[in-house]
């Protein structure tokens, strides 16, 4: 009898956490010179992440305006700093595929990502207090890097920034190990959240469709073309050869199809 009662309480708690809508605002630190605002919404097992391409300092100064009411511009800040685009990720707990919007040279795409299962290792005794939250450590291998997350069971919602989720509580801080780590820090939270999600799904579904593999290949070609143009403007030094190594400016370094 006690066993069934405990199961009922656990099921009730899980249902409540999934039913209540949450909004979390993260500070996404790409580099000391580039920090972005990322809003994450979660309800009924669906997580939506929204991040604009304008660094917070520029956004606060009001130097840029969004176009088309949704997003425009270039996927890579390196290609075109003057345009604005919106990266949107929609992720459902019961689906292995997520949808993402991104852009290349002013063209927007809806991308389907067969997202790999994150095998989180939560077997750590580390407990840290981040802000007002008691947090536990977790790690996972992810597309050529190791992800380190600190989550709090005080907010029993399995959500987090960008494409990361699935822990027993909300992710408060996350970063990838390596020479160029990216950081996500929780800055604000509304739970429960009663507002709307600023995503135009009709517009998203009208975009040209690409698989993640085809999109990345297209984006890599655009980046390589940009680098070639930059190199062609640099003076040649006789006897000196510059070796270029592909380094992606994202947390993803090696994709599934590149391992073979």
The answer to whether 126 and 81 have CB atoms below 8 angstroms apart is: no
Residue 76 bridge partners (DSSP)? none
The answer to whether 172 and 184 have CB atoms below 8 angstroms apart is: no
Give pLDDT tens digits for 112-165: 999 998 999 999 998 999 989 999 999 999 999 999 999 999 999 999 999 999
pLDDT score for 80: 39
Record the pTM: 0.79
Residue 206: asked if its preceding bond is cis (omega within 30°), the reply is no
SS3 state of residue 212: helix
Give pLDDT tens digits for 92-110: 887 889 999 998 888 899 9
Domain ranges of the chain: 19-213
* CATH number given to 19-213: 2.50.20
Give pLDDT tens digits for 217-256: 999 898 788 667 766 666 665 654 445 555 677 899 999 9
């Amino acid at each position: 009898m006690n066993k069934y009662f405990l199961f009922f309480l656990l099921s009730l708690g899980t249902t409540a956490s999934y039913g209540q809508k949450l909004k979390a605002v993260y500070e996404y630190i790409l580099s000391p010179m580039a920090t972005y605002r990322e809003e994450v919404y979660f309800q009924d097992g669906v997580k939506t992440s929204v991040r604009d391409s304008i660094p917070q300092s520029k956004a606060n100064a009001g130097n840029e305006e969004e176009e088309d009411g949704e997003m425009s511009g270039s996927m890579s800040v390196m290609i075109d700093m003057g345009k604005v685009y919106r990266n949107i990720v929609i992720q459902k707990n019961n689906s292995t595929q997520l949808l993402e919007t991104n852009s290349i040279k002013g063209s927007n795409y809806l991308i389907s990502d067969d997202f790999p299962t994150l095998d989180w290792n939560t077997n750590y005794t580390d407990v840290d207090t981040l802000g007002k939250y008691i947090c536990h450590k977790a790690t996972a291998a992810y597309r050529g890097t190791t992800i380190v997350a600190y989550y709090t069971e005080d907010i029993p919602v399995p959500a987090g920034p960008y494409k990361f989720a699935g822990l027993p509580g909300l992710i408060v801080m996350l970063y990838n190990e390596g020479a160029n780590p990216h950081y996500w820090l929780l800055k604000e939270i509304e739970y429960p959240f009663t507002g709307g999600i600023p995503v135009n799904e009709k517009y998203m579904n009208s975009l040209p469709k690409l698989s993640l593999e085809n999109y990345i290949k297209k984006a890599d070609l655009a980046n390589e073309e940009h680098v070639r143009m930059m190199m062609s403007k640099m003076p040649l030094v006789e006897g000196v050869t510059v070796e270029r190594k592909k380094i992606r400016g994202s947390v993803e370094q090696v994709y599934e199809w590149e391992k073979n």
